[in-house]
Amino acid sequence: MKNSIFALILLFFANTLLAQKSEYLKEEVVNCHYRTNSIDVNKDNTKLLIGGENKMVMVYDLVKKKNVFEMEAHYQPVVEVQFSNKHDGFYTVGDKSFKLWINGEEKAEKLFTGSHTSITDWAMTPAEDYFVGGSHEKKFRYWNASTLTTPQSITTSQTKSVISVAISDNHKLIACGSLDKTIELYKTDSLTQTRRIIAHAGPISCLEFVNHDKNLISASHDGYAKLWNVNTGKNIKVYSGHTKPVSAIDISPNGKYLLTASYDNSINLYMISTGDLIYHYVHHETPVLDVKWNNKGDEFYSCDKEGQIARWSVPKSLFVDFYFGADMNNDIHNNELFQPKSKGESRDAYKERQVKAEAYEQKLFDTYYQKYLELLKTQTIAE
């Protein structure tokens, strides 16, 4: 028993990935008991926005731990939800339209229509002045938020439905992903195609611009995510680790990390620049349909097909363990402070050594965390 503290410390640094699977699960937030298609977190990290197969939108208070708003938002399932940073409200996407809601109001503030088929995916600029939506017609539509007029409708050269879209933060490019496994890029000023990429071995489920819009990340039913140069169409990185389709992706607030959610019931965390799979999160028992970072970048939320929503942590130790865990384990193993109690060692001396060991462990962690921060500075996304 006396030697257990040292055994536990050594075991902590030697733990395998499998043994740590539930370590970073903070809580099961809520179970909606229906297919939850989309979630979002507000900028204060106090509210969770939930859109589901039951056509409802729900606002869940993360502080009070209760639902504070719920109503039917569309006449078909809600496929996308997002908090507004411009208005005191949020957006919902479903059927052939998307809507802007003001908090507390039971009628939409704005209704954007013009799609002749259901909107398959949706994206907007940070300024919330332009929107783009995919469709089953091999088209995408492009809305100007300053008007509620019919959007511009652009027919792609893709042979099947456009099921994923993205618009660059600088409002210069639109990306469209299709069931036909291709990605097409369009200029927003002329709405003309600039590039076509045969991207994956399966349909393109997700798209997101990164690195000041110089790169694009795609994800697919083939289980992979990929990083692309938008100017050349060159594939730069492949993010592997899932065994079934990738259903959702999200980029960390600092632009360094990628989360991928999958039908294999798991979530992966990657460093974008290197392609390193930092951690494999497992808790859900059904396909994970969406994943969202909080605005601090130290936690994220996930939702699954049965309506279970979970909160996860992304602590400093996760990155230190990945990059320097073996070195730390070596340092601890070789340090006499962490040796078992000797026969001639008094109880007081042993306790004093325990205190020193804990202090040394913290100092060691701080040292390696600084090394990690220095490493992070050198990691830039190749164009």
DSSP state, residue 272? T
CA dist 196 and 219 (Å) reads: 16
Q: What pLDDT score does 22 carry?
A: 65
Residue 117, both tokens: 């088929």
Per the CB < 8 A criterion, the answer to whether 219 and 238 are in contact is no
Partners of residue 81 on adjacent β-strands = 92
Helices 347-378, 4-14: inter-axial angle, 10-degree rounding: 10
* Residue of 335, 252, 331 lying closest to 296 (CA atoms): 252
Cβ atoms within 10 A of the Cβ of 287, count?
Answer: 18
Tell me the CB-side half-sphere exposure of residue 218, using CA atoms within 13 A: 33
- What is the pTM for the complete model shown? 0.90
Give the DSSP H/E element, type plus range, for residue 353.
helix 347-378
Paired tokens of 335: 């340090």
Q: How many CB atoms lie within 10 A of CB 286?
A: 13
Question: According to the model, what pLDDT value does residue 380 have?
Answer: 86
CA dist 357 and 367 (Å) reads 15
Give kind and range of the element (H or E) at residue 319: helix 316-333
Place of tokens 């507004």: 84
Calculated CA dihedral for residues 243, 244, 247, 251, nearest 10 degrees = 10
- Predicted confidence at residue 8, as pLDDT, reads 44
Q: In this structure, are residues 82 and 89 in contact, taking their beta carbons and an 8 Å threshold?
A: no
Confidence (pLDDT) at 6 = 43
Residues in the chain predicted with pLDDT less than 70, given as ranges, are: 1-22, 148-149, 383
- Spatial separation of the C-alpha atoms in residues 142 and 188, rounded to whole Å: 9
pLDDT of residue 189: 93
